[in-house]
Amino acid sequence: MSKPAEPVGGISFLNNPKVRAIVFQVLALACVFFVAAYFTNNMFDNIEARGIETGFTFLDQIAGFGISQTLVEYDDGSSTYARVFLIGILNTLLVSAIAIFFTTILGLLIGIGRLSGNFLIAKLSMIYIEVFRNIPILLQILFWYNVVLAALPSPRQSYSYFDEFFLNNRGFLMPKPIFEDNSGYILAAFILACVGVFFLARWAIKRHDDTGEEFPIFSVGGAIIILSPILVFFIAGQPISSEVPELKGFNFRGGWVIIPELLALAFALSIYTATYIAEAVRAGIESVPKGQKEAAHSLGLKDHVILRKIILPQALRVIIPPVINQYLNLVKNSSLATAIGYPEIVTLFSGTTLNQVGQAIEIILMTMAVYLAFSIVISLLLNWLNAKMQIKGR
């Protein structure tokens, strides 16, 4: 009886599923690189044919335009486009950090209120979510800026609070701290207090695990963080003074000014994104079995203790993943600031700088890289936190 013919070496090689998978992936990757190289080469050929300048030498040129808000020193007569790029990044970070802070607090409160046994609180929370979630964020930004803030009085008729804080259509003005000699000791005291509270919290957790006794870490830790810098402030001879805004002519001089564009953008981003975080909080709390709460009640625990010690720690495993997406959306939605002229990265760099320089490829790629870097950092931090919160399997 004759034996069946053995497969040719090449055919036998391709019959291996792992080998075929690798071959197909290599071919697909080669096609992607070929297409990308073709379009890139075609793009630069067209740029060269039109005589358009390329490269990043424009970053060393003088910008020559004013910026309404800068966190670092800037002079429109001597500062370069590189400094404009830095200011845009810092302003984007500022509004994103403010909005993330307030949207987290507001979303947590509204999400808990949504499940409240109080009929009025639950319904008001539901109305808040349904109203602000279904209005486009751009319209909300325009509303707060063009309707609410524009209706504020002029500087001469400003709303005054404690004769040091003022609110008008030019923004919110507050005293500016002036740091003198020995003021560094206050910062050192604050840092040491935070480090001390960290180790105190670890001791409190270990003590609770060993004995079951609670330690008021929030009240004690808060007191340490607040009182330590205050005590050093007086011991060091009060080295921090303040510059209070003063009305001179038709506007205020001195102090810190939060421009209306920042107020409108941060407020709109906060109340809009908080609706989605509130729903994530509600879903996380409802995912915890009711038996957990009933068992805690049977032990005589109060509702706020049950929420803080039992419900939220378990709910966070469900809450964190969707919250990551909302933080990323918030950062990207900050680019809508261009509609009201807030000087963030899109307005300053992809707007004014692009109009003056004309190098669209470099400017757009740099702006995209900024948002990509922000998103990656946020994702890494929250994914790390999410991994820490997960229940470890065997």
Q: Hey, what are 43's tokens? A: 């793009």
pLDDT, residue 91, reads 93
Per-residue model confidence as pLDDT tens digits over 74-106: 888 888 999 999 999 999 999 999 999 999 999
Least confident of 77-81, 147-151, 229-233, 357-361: 357-361
Mean pLDDT of 234-252: 84
3-class DSSP string for the chain? CCCCCCCCHHHHHHCCHHHHHHHHHHHHHHHHHHHHHHHHHHHHHHHHHCCCCCCCHHHHCECCCCCCCCCCCCCCCCCEHHHHHHHHHHHHHHHHHHHHHHHHHHHHHHHHHHCCCCHHHHHHHHHHHHHHHCCCHHHHHHHHHHHHHHHCCCHHHCEEECCCEEEECCEEEECEEEECCCCHHHHHHHHHHHHHHHHHHHHHHHHHHHHCCCCCHHHHHHHHHHHHHHHHHHHCCCCEEEECCEEECCEEECCEEECHHHHHHHHHHHHHHHHHHHHHHHHHHHHCCHHHHHHHHHCCCCHHHHHHHHHHHHHHHHHHHHHHHHHHHHHHHHHHHHHCCCCCHHHHHHHHHHHHHCCHHHHHHHHHHHHHHHHHHHHHHHHHHHHHHCCCCC
**Domain co-membership, 250 together with 313:** yes
Alpha carbon distance 348, 343 (integer Å): 6
pLDDT, residue 9, reads 52
Compare 217 and 52 and report the one with higher pLDDT: 217
Using CA of residue 202, residue 205, residue 210, residue 215, what is the dihedral sign? positive
**Residue % of the chain over a pLDDT of 90:** 28
Provide the domain count of the chain: 3
pLDDT, residue 202, reads 87
Angle at 101 between CA 273 and CA 197, to 5 degrees: 150
Mean pLDDT, the chain, as a whole number?
85
pLDDT, residue 51, reads 65
CB 166 within 8 A of CB 160: yes
The single-letter code of the amino acid at 333 is N
**207 pLDDT more than 70:** yes
**3 pLDDT more than 60:** no
**66 pLDDT more than 70:** yes
Does residue 74 belong to any structural domain of this protein? no
**Domain co-membership, 217 together with 314:** no
Alpha carbon distance 220, 20 (integer Å): 63
Does residue 312 belong to any structural domain of this protein? yes
pLDDT, residue 7, reads 53
Backbone φ and ψ of 62, nearest 5°: -75, 130
Domain that holds residue 111: 81-175+244-389
**Domain co-membership, 224 together with 98:** no
Alpha carbon distance 150, 167 (integer Å): 12
**Domain co-membership, 264 together with 139:** yes
Alpha carbon distance 311, 282 (integer Å): 11
Say which residues have a Cβ less than 8 Å from residue 319's Cβ, sequence separation at least 6: 280, 281, 283, 284
Does residue 124 belong to any structural domain of this protein? yes
pLDDT, residue 394, reads 44
Least confident of 36-40, 58-62, 305-309, 390-394: 390-394
pTM of the model: 0.81
**Domain co-membership, 134 together with 109:** yes
**324 pLDDT more than 90:** no
pLDDT, residue 264, reads 93
**Domain co-membership, 381 together with 290:** yes
**Domain co-membership, 287 together with 159:** yes
pLDDT, residue 393, reads 47
**Domain co-membership, 315 together with 269:** yes
Alpha carbon distance 352, 358 (integer Å): 10
Mean pLDDT of 207-221: 80
**Domain co-membership, 87 together with 40:** no
